[in-house]
Structure formats: structure tokens, C-alpha cells
């Protein structure tokens, strides 16, 4: 299979379940909402070494938010529900409550379950309840005025680790392909790319051969172009000299599929992109499989 002359590998991406909450962050201007959303979703690339996976889902113009101000919907994800709750408290408390003019609202109102995030205790008894539309919120007095927040956030069982590889004839071609793929996925609601700029430069394998005692993940040598002649099982095709991985978390399988479709199509427009593949572990990692050829 080819798209715009780029080979689509006959393989699949393997993914696994993760708990996800969506937080709507609003502020007086778009820029302030973005700054708070960025801080709150930082240091959150992979649960291997971070306390959460997080990212910006999408921008919400003023007429789409609960309080009529510009905002961003962010996703915060963790394989464990209690850890997710903890991360919601810490990330909202440290990075949004502290940010200028922000408010936070539950972004999945029809979720089957809700996590309590009791920030009103910060008000030390001076807080009071308010309604924002139909939503029950707390108003907490702070230096700038009042911080408004809901205290229950819907949680759903989503999908982590949707992915594909962008292989280029050289590094800059592969990178431009990955960049435009990440941009295309920004428009797919219900998904985030938790890595910097949405791109992974150093995809890993589980465990380590040489440093197995203390490394739970290490470089995936089969996909390292500089090791093509040095490892027996290299999966770097001839003519490919660099590759990047796009890793997607989403609220459901459908959104992962839409993101993979949009990202792959966009990447195939970049001159020098040679092939699209995907990462899987033979079905050992997780129950979700996204076959590339089935997306188109």
C-alpha cells in the first residue's frame, strides 16, 4: 500500500488501556489559558518515568466553554485510577490554580465515573459555592480575586500508545514529516501527543540486554539507523536514515484511529518521507491493535 508514493507497512500499532480525565482550563485570554495548560501538562511524556501522560487536546473558543472565556481542553492519563486522581490534584493545584485568571471545569461530563478533586480546602474556610451555568463550582479567594473550579472530573478508560513511525531518507525529512503529522493530529479531538512537540526521537524496547538489572527500558536497537550494520535484526529499511515515532493517547479507539489516519496522510506529503510503519510487541503489550492498512 502506498499514499502519495510513500510505502505504508503491512503491520499494526499495539496499544493498551489507560485512565483519562479531561480538564477544561479557561482564562481571561487564550494566551493565559495556554500558559497554564502547558505548565500543567509538562513533564508528562511517558508513565515509565513521569507521574502522568498529559497534553493539550484542543483549543476551545469562548462560546464553547462553560464560562464563556477562551480555554484549552487537556487530557491527563495514568494506568491507575488513584494515581490519576493524585495527578489531577497536583497538576491543577500547582499549575492552574497558581496561574493568572484561570478556572477549571470537568471536560467529560457524561463519564460513567467521576474523580473527586477537592481543591476548595486551599480556601481555608473562606471559599464558597457558586454556579457556572448548571455546574456546581467552588470560588476560592486568592490574591488576584477568586479561583473558580469544579471538584469532580469524569474519568474514562481510554487508549495509550497508539503509534506510527515516520521513516525518512534523512533526519530533516523524517522530522518535517513527524512535525506535520503532529500538527494534523492537533485537530483530532479526544487525542493528545504527550511527547515534546508530539514526537518521540528515541523509541524504546522493554527492558535491556546489557543493563537488565536496573534499566526497565532501553534503546530499540532494531530501529536505530546508525546500528543497521551492527545488529542482526535491524528493521531500518534500505534508503531510510532516520525515523521518528508518533505516540497517541486518546479517549477511545475511534479517536486513536482518526489521529493515526490524519497524521499519516499529512506525513506522506513531505518530500523525503519514504515509509510509514508502526510499533507492536506481538500482542504482549496490550489488547488494542491498529492495523495501518485498515485505516485507509
Q: Which of residues 22-41 bind its own copies (CB under 8 A)?
A: 28-32, 35-36, 38-41
Q: Is residue 136 part of the contact set for its own copies (CB under 8 A)? A: no
Between 50 and 285, name the residue whose CB sits nearer to its own copies.
Answer: 50
Q: Is residue 287 part of the contact set for its own copies (CB under 8 A)? A: no
Please answer whether residues 181 and 266 qualify as being in contact, where contact means their C-beta atoms are separated by less than 8 angstroms: yes
Burial 250-277 (b: 16+ CB within 10 A, else e): bbeeebbbbbbbbbbbbbbebebbbbbb
Shortest distance (Å) from residue 273 CB to its own copies = 9
C-alpha 286/C-alpha 292 separation (Å) is 17
Between 270 and 292, name the residue whose CB sits nearer to its own copies.
Answer: 270
Residue bearing cell 479561583: 147
C-alpha 47/C-alpha 267 separation (Å) is 27
Close Cβ partners of 88 (under 8 Å, ≥ 6 residues apart): 21, 23, 76, 115, 117, 153
Q: Is residue 143 part of the contact set for its own copies (CB under 8 A)? A: yes
Shortest distance (Å) from residue 260 CB to its own copies = 13
Q: What are phi and psi of 109, to 5 degrees?
A: -70, -25
Which position among 17, 114, 146, 252 is part of the footprint of its own copies (CB under 8 A)?
A: 146
Report CA torsion sign: 159, 161, 166, 172: positive
Q: Is residue 234 part of the contact set for its own copies (CB under 8 A)? A: no
Which position among 156, 242, 248, 278 is part of the footprint of its own copies (CB under 8 A)?
A: 242
Q: Is residue 16 part of the contact set for its own copies (CB under 8 A)? A: no
Report CA torsion sign: 144, 146, 151, 156: negative
Q: Is residue 161 part of the contact set for its own copies (CB under 8 A)? A: no
Q: Is residue 8 part of the contact set for its own copies (CB under 8 A)? A: no
Please answer whether residues 23 and 88 qualify as being in contact, where contact means their C-beta atoms are separated by less than 8 angstroms: yes
Please answer whether residues 267 and 209 qualify as being in contact, where contact means their C-beta atoms are separated by less than 8 angstroms: no
Residues touching its own copies: how many (CB under 8 A)? 110
Q: Is residue 129 part of the contact set for its own copies (CB under 8 A)? A: no
Shortest distance (Å) from residue 225 CB to its own copies = 6
Residues in contact with its own copies, shown as a per-residue x/- string from 185 to 224 under the rule CB under 8 A: -xx-------xxx-xxxxxx---xxxx--xx-xxxxx-xx
Which position among 44, 148, 248, 275 is part of the footprint of its own copies (CB under 8 A)?
A: 44
Tell me which residues in 79-118 interact with its own copies (CB under 8 A).
90-91, 93-102
Amino acid at each position: 500500500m502506498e499514499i502519495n508514493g510513500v510505502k505504508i507497512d503491512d503491520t499494526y500499532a499495539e496499544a493498551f488501556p489507560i485512565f483519562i480525565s479531561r480538564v477544561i482550563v479557561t482564562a481571561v485570554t487564550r494566551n493565559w489559558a495556554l500558559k497554564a495548560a502547558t505548565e500543567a501538562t509538562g513533564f508528562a511524556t511517558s508513565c515509565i518515568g513521569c507521574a502522568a501522560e498529559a497534553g493539550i487536546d484542543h483549543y476551545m473558543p469562548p462560546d464553547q466553554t462553560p464560562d464563556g472565556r477562551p480555554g484549552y481542553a487537556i487530557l491527563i492519563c495514568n494506568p491507575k485510577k488513584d494515581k490519576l486522581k493524585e495527578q489531577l490534584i497536583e497538576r491543577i493545584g500547582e499549575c492552574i490554580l497558581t496561574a493568572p485568571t484561570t478556572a477549571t471545569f470537568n471536560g467529560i461530563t457524561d463519564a460513567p465515573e467521576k474523580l473527586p478533586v477537592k481543591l476548595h480546602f486551599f480556601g481555608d474556610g473562606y471559599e464558597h459555592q457558586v454556579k457556572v451555568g448548571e455546574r456546581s463550582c467552588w470560588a476560592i479567594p486568592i490574591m488576584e480575586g477568586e479561583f473558580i473550579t469544579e471538584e469532580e472530573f469524569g474519568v474514562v478508560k481510554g487508549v495509550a500508545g497508539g503509534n506510527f513511525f515516520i521513516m525518512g531518507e534523512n533526519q530533516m525529512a523524517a522530522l518535517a514529516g513527524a512535525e506535520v503529522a503532529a500538527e494534523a493530529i492537533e485537530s483530532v479531538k479526544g487525542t493528545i501527543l504527550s511527547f515534546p512537540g508530539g514526537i518521540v526521537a528515541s523509541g524504546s524496547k522493554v527492558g535491556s540486554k546489557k543493563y537488565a538489572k536496573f534499566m526497565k527500558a532501553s534503546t530499540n536497537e532494531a530501529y536505530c539507523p546508525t546500528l543497521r550494520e551492527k545488529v542482526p535484526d535491524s528493521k531500518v529499511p534500505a534508503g531510510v536514515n532516520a525515523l521518528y515515532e508518533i505516540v497517541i493517547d486518546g479517549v477511545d479507539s475511534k479517536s486513536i484511529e482518526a489521529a493515526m489516519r490524519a497524521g499519516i496522510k499529512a506525513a506522506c506529503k513531505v518530500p523525503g518521507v519514504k515509509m510509514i510503519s508502526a510499533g507492536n510487541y506481538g500482542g504482549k503489550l496490550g489488547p488494542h491493535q491498529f492495523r495501518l492498512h485498515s485505516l485507509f
